[in-house]
Amino acid sequence: MAHSGKPQRIGAVKQITSHSNPIVKEIKGLIAQRKHRSQSGLFVAEGLKLATDAMAADWGVRYLALGPEARDNPIAQKAAATAKARGALILEVSNAVMSAMTRKDNPQMVVGVYEQKTLSAREIDPRGGTVWVALDRVRDPGNLGTIIRTVDAVGGSGVMLVGDCTDPFAVEAVRATMGSLFHVPLAKMSKDDFKDLAGKWPGTVAATHLKGSVDYRTPDYQEPALLVMGNEQKGLEDDMADACSTLIRIPQTGQADSLNLAVATGIALYEIRRNLLEL
Ligand code: SAM
């Protein structure tokens, strides 16, 4: 998406009270459409916590919009000062403009526009890592965000998005990461690149599979581990499963066909890191 109108002075502050301001339209476009996010390489993250996380992670920021309440909030002011020093345009917006940009049910005092950042398969260096999670065609943004958050919680090294996945920079996915998006490396790759990487992976490559014959609690997982998860509807593709050394299964009783993808990922991650995490 083309950036709005005439060039904006970076590292400056601008007041906005009109819904039809081109920057407001640009932000709404980034929230609404993947096409705008891909073309611009930008995305929107709502809330002060995410702004603070982004600043702590030295993340590239284009705009930080502050509602009236943020002007008396020292944490918001600190985030704005950091963003401004990093070249962002600070937008002071009215409540009406802020709620036009965010969810009506949960208005935010801060909305940030940040630069997207993903790795390619070639940029992944497993050495010194703990556990990476590879997701085969993940479709649900809430699942993806929850998985990124859980990888962060267990001290994982990153998440690989294999094939046609949901957009990790969609506002629902970003929201579900609760800020972990700014701390967990994300890589995008084709299935062939994944298979190459899995073939030379130095640690355990374990796929969760409903046909797995190995109880997920039995392998002696070697780090860096690679945990491979299937698509919500179709499960893991056969050739991806063939690229893994172990097919693990989480036992189930009752009538459920399978576990939710994010839940299964969390259970397996905590088992893989069982002896390495302590309170
Ligand atoms: N209908 C799909 C199938 O037949 O595989 C169900 C997919 S399930 C909702 C999504 C993914 O979560 C699976 O591909 C697998 O990676 C993981 N998963 C869910 N329940 C699991 C279990 N009990 N054991 C191992 N993996 C599981």
SS3 at position 234: coil
Is CATH 3.40.1280.10 the classification given to domain 121-276?
yes
- 141 contact partners, CB below 8 Å, separation of at least 6: 166, 167, 168, 170, 172, 173, 176
Cα 206 to ligand 1 centroid, rounded to whole Å: 13
259 CA closest ligand 1 atom index: 20
SS3 at position 46: strand
Question: For the chain, where do the domains classified as CATH 3.40.1280.10 start and end?
Answer: 121-276
pLDDT of the residue at 105 = 67
How do residues 223-272 score in pLDDT, each as one tens digit? 999 999 999 999 999 999 999 999 999 999 999 999 999 999 999 999 99
Is CATH 3.30.1330.30 the classification given to domain 12-115?
yes
Does residue 62 have a pLDDT over 90? yes
Cα 171 to ligand 1 centroid, rounded to whole Å: 25
Cα 257 to ligand 1 centroid, rounded to whole Å: 8
Ligand 1 pocket check: which of 217, 259, 267 to mutate, most ligand atoms within 8 Å of Cβ? 259
Ligand 1 binding site (Cβ under 6 Å of any ligand atom): 208-210, 212, 229-230, 232-233, 235-236, 249-250, 252, 258-259, 261, 264
Question: For the chain, where do the domains classified as CATH 3.30.1330.30 start and end?
Answer: 12-115
Confidence of residue 9 (pLDDT cuts 50, 70, 90): low
Whole-model pTM: value is 0.94
How do residues 169-184 score in pLDDT, each as one tens digit? 999 999 999 999 999 9
The amino acid at residue 108 is Q
Strands 42-46 vs 110-115: parallel, antiparallel or unpaired: antiparallel
Average pLDDT along the chain? 94
Q: How far is CA 206 from the centre of its chain?
A: 22
- Burial (CB < 10 A; 0-12, 13-18, 19+), residue 108, is buried
Q: Please state, in angstroms and rounded to a whole number, the distance separating the CA atoms of residues 266 and 261.
A: 9
